[in-house]
Every structure is written in C-alpha cells, then in structure tokens.
C-alpha cells in the first residue's frame, strides 16, 4: 500500500516561500552577474525537486527511504532559513526606504547593493554549493525511491499472479475430479451439465 510523504505541508510552503523570496531578492540586484543567475537557476531546480517530493507516494516497505527524504528536506529548509536570516536581512537593511525615488536614492541603493554583494560573496558561494548539494541529494533519493517503489509493485503483481495461478490450478483439479466422480456415479445429460456449470461458475468467481 502506498503512503504519503511525511514532510508536512507547512514545511513545504515554508521552503518554497523562502526560495521565492530569495530568488526575488537576487533578481532585484540590477546588473547581477553570472554567479547570481547560476544561483537563481540552482534555486529553481531545488524548487522543482521539492515540488516533486511534495506529491510523492511511497510503498509501506520504504520507511527508511522516507526518513532519508525527510532529513534531506529538513536540511534544505534549514539552509534556506539560515541564508535568509544572515544575508537577506542585511540586504534589506542596506536599502534606503523612501516614498520618493530620487536620483540620489537610486545611486545610494545601487551602491549599497554592490557593497552587499561584495560583503556577501563568501556566503553566496557557500549558499550556492549547499543548494546544489541539497538538490542533488533530493533528486538522487527521489530516483532511488521511485525505482524501488516500481520494483515493490512489480514483485507484488508477480506474487498476486502466482497466487491466482495456484488457485486456478487447484480449481481445475477440483473440476476434473468432480467430473470424474459425476461420471462414476452414472449421471448423464442434464445433471452432468448442471454439475459442470456449477464448477465453472466457481472458477469464474476466482477472477471476480
């Protein structure tokens, strides 16, 4: 029997929400370089992986794999939250909050964005490496879980087929034995047909 993935809906909403916030913040840095675009791409890939995990169902025999996926998703959420707390809050504080966007304010914001980018360089590199690692880990676990799930279903199908075949053979033997007994008892015509029909009906019940 398939069971749902145990990572809560609230956790998924939190993780996907954090990804969206971080992408928006990085995209807000005008003239962002190649490294920022790569980081945004990594975050989008992670977003896709988490969305796949959210809709995942696994077989009851895959408890250990389910635990591993929960841990991977939990670590991912912790990394996202850490980056938001340590980096994005500093980014927000670095920007001027004004009702009127004068040229001077624009220049100050541009300067503070650039300054933030330089000061956060090491953390951005760390964050990108961790996001890539989380994504690779989750995708690898997903692939393993999906492969094993298909294997479990196939083994179950084969076992059910074997049980059905055994029941059919048993019923066929019973039919042959019963027909032999009918003829031995000297029954003919309608009575023989009735006996055969009753056994045939019992065979059909095996398939329904």
Are both 152 and 99 inside the same structural domain?
yes
- In terms of DSSP H, where are the helices of the chain? 9-28, 34-54, 63-83, 89-94, 103-119, 121-184, 189-206
Q: How many CB atoms lie within 10 A of CB 173?
A: 10
Structural domain that includes position 190: 160-206
Pick the most confident of 142-146, 191-195, 201-205.
142-146
Least confident of 94-98, 121-125, 151-155, 184-188: 94-98
Are both 86 and 10 inside the same structural domain?
yes
Residue in 116, 66, 106 with CA at minimum distance from that of residue 86: 116
Residue 16 CA, chain-centre distance (Å), reads 14
State the Cα–Cα distance between residues 115 and 92, nearest whole angstrom.
Answer: 13
State the Cα–Cα distance between residues 20 and 14, nearest whole angstrom.
Answer: 10
- Structure pTM? 0.59
Q: How many CA atoms lie within 13 A of 158 on its CB side?
A: 6
For 95, list phi and psi in degrees, rounded to 5: -95, 140
Are both 90 and 6 inside the same structural domain?
yes
Residue 87: the pLDDT is 76
Please check the confidence at residue 191 and state whether its pLDDT lies above 70: no
Are both 145 and 171 inside the same structural domain?
no
Least confident of 74-78, 81-85, 194-198: 194-198
Please check the confidence at residue 197 and state whether its pLDDT lies above 60: no
Q: What percent of the chain has pLDDT over 90?
A: 7
State the Cα–Cα distance between residues 120 and 87, nearest whole angstrom.
Answer: 7
Are both 134 and 191 inside the same structural domain?
no
Please state at what angle helix 34-54 crosses helix 9-28, rounded to 10 degrees: 160
In a 3-state reduction of DSSP, which class is residue 100? coil
Pick the most confident of 132-141, 144-153, 191-200.
132-141
Are both 109 and 186 inside the same structural domain?
no
Of the pLDDT bands very low, low, confident and very high (cuts 50, 70, 90), residue 4 is very low
Q: What is the pLDDT of residues 14-67, one digit of tens each?
A: 888 999 988 888 877 655 567 778 889 999 999 998 888 877 777 777 677 777
Are both 46 and 82 inside the same structural domain?
yes
Cβ(3)–Cβ(57) below 8 Å: yes
Residue 205: the pLDDT is 52
Are both 138 and 172 inside the same structural domain?
no
Label residue 34 exposed, middle or buried (CB < 10 Å: 0-12, 13-18, 19+): exposed
Are both 145 and 177 inside the same structural domain?
no
Pick the most confident of 24-33, 42-51, 68-77, 95-104.
42-51
Residue 160: the pLDDT is 62
Are both 110 and 66 inside the same structural domain?
yes
Are both 151 and 53 inside the same structural domain?
yes
State the Cα–Cα distance between residues 43 and 37, nearest whole angstrom.
Answer: 10
Q: Compute CA distances 145 → 2, 39, 150, 159, whole Å.
A: 12, 27, 9, 21
- Rounded mean pLDDT, 130-156: 80
Q: How many domains does the chain have?
A: 2
Are both 44 and 144 inside the same structural domain?
yes
Residue 43: the pLDDT is 93
Label residue 102 exposed, middle or buried (CB < 10 Å: 0-12, 13-18, 19+): exposed
Please check the confidence at residue 94 and state whether its pLDDT lies above 70: no
């Amino acid at each position: 029997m398939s069971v749902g993935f145990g990572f809560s809906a609230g956790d998924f909403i939190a993780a996907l929400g954090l990804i969206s916030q971080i992408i928006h913040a990085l995209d807000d840095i005008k003239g962002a370089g190649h490294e920022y675009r790569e980081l945004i791409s990594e975050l989008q890939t992670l977003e896709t992986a988490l969305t796949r995990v959210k809709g995942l169902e696994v077989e009851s025999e895959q408890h250990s794999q389910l635990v591993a996926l929960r841990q991977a998703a939990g670590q991912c959420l912790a990394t996202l939250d850490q980056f938001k707390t340590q980096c994005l809050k500093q980014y927000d504080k670095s920007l001027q909050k004004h009702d009127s966007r004068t040229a001077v304010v624009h220049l100050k914001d541009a300067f503070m964005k650039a300054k933030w980018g330089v000061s956060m360089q090491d953390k951005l590199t760390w964050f990108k490496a961790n996001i890539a690692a989380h994504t690779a880990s989750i995708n690898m676990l997903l692939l393993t879980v999906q492969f094993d799930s298909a294997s479990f279903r196939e083994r179950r199908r084969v076992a059910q087929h074997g049980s059905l075949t055994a029941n059919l053979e048993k019923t066929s033997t019973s039919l042959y034995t019963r027909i032999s007994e009918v003829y031995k008892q000297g029954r003919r015509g309608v009575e023989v047909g009735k006996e055969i029909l009753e056994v045939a009906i019992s065979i059909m019940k095996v398939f329904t």
